[in-house]
Amino acid sequence: MNGELSVLLQECDTLKSRLSENRPLPDDALKKIEDAFAIEYTYESNRIEGNTLTLQETELVVNEGVTISGKSMREHLEAINHSEAIGFIKDFAKSSEEINERTIKEIHAIILHGIDRKNAGSYRTVPVMISGSRHLPPQPYLLVKQMEDYISCFQKMQSENTHPVLVAAYLHDELVRIHPFIDGNGRTSRLLMNLYLLRNGFTLVNLKGSDNAKIAYYNALEASHVYDHPDVFQKYVAEAEIQSLKRYLSILGID
């Protein structure tokens, strides 16, 4: 591990400890903060994938059941489904269930619920290309073996007590590389990453969907998948977790 990454992980641990010292937090305050974070996360994650709902529109669709004029049914469903998927990972993080391939398929099934019934929760059976990327995902006949190896490596990292932020980055990075689904890989990968972070006492990482943020995000993934530099994406995730923890502490008024 390089020095810069080590420093970032130490900061993650320090900030997490400060948050843990103030737990349990008041239920009413905690719910308001977490609900706001969840709406922002749904907005940004869908924005990365091209959803055009604004933050306010996302809140209205998810919490008020409002139909936004001029927006497609798919965009409405993406907001509703993503919100439900956040609820799923929060509950799962509190359970003792192991994270495995079924977990990944369950998250994906929620993401594509009512959008693509045929492919929701199922691995793709056709080759795919990632627009704007030089990385070519594996052929469909390789998916079963690569997903088995993916889970095995994840389990090995856990047994070796690898830092949770690095494990979370791996869960996201490698799932996007394999690209096991015809659609919804990005959202599923980000949710899986956050499930692991929540289970280990960290806060949701909310990767932004602005043009500049999206370019930085895709460049970090490209560095890992094409140039074999996973540390670039690891640092990207660690920095995002630091920002998330700092914001959480600031809202709670914890110095």
Q: Count helices and strands (H / E) in the chain.
A: 10, 0
Q: Give 121-138 pLDDT, tens digit per residue.
A: 999 999 998 888 889 999
- Which candidate in 108, 179, 225, 229 is catalytic? 179
Average pLDDT over residues 227-253: 95
Q: Can you read off the two tokens belonging to residue 55?
A: 């933050």
Q: Are 48 and 207 in contact (CB under 8 A)?
A: yes
Q: Give 73-127 pLDDT, tens digit per residue.
A: 999 999 999 999 999 999 999 999 999 999 999 999 999 999 999 999 999 999 9
Of 187, 176, 185, 173, the residue nearest 78 (C-alpha)? 187
**Treating both helix axes as pointing N-terminal to C-terminal, what angle do 230-252 and 27-48 enclose, rounded to 10 degrees?**
140
Alpha carbons 74 and 69: distance in angstroms, whole number: 13
Res 31 pLDDT > 90:
no
| 179: annotated active-site residue | yes
Alpha carbons 255 and 249: distance in angstroms, whole number: 7
Average pLDDT over residues 44-63: 98
Which CB contacts under 8 angstroms, 24+ apart, belong to 89-97? 89/191, 89/192, 89/194, 89/195, 89/198, 90/198, 92/195, 92/199, 93/195, 93/198, 93/199, 94/199
Alpha carbons 185 and 162: distance in angstroms, whole number: 24
214: left (phi over 0), alpha (psi -120 to 50) or beta: alpha
Domain definitions of the chain by residue range: 11-120+135-252
Alpha carbons 233 and 226: distance in angstroms, whole number: 12
Q: What percent of the chain has pLDDT over 70?
A: 98
- As a CATH number, domain 11-120+135-252 is 1.10.3290.10
Alpha carbons 80 and 61: distance in angstroms, whole number: 7
pTM: 0.96
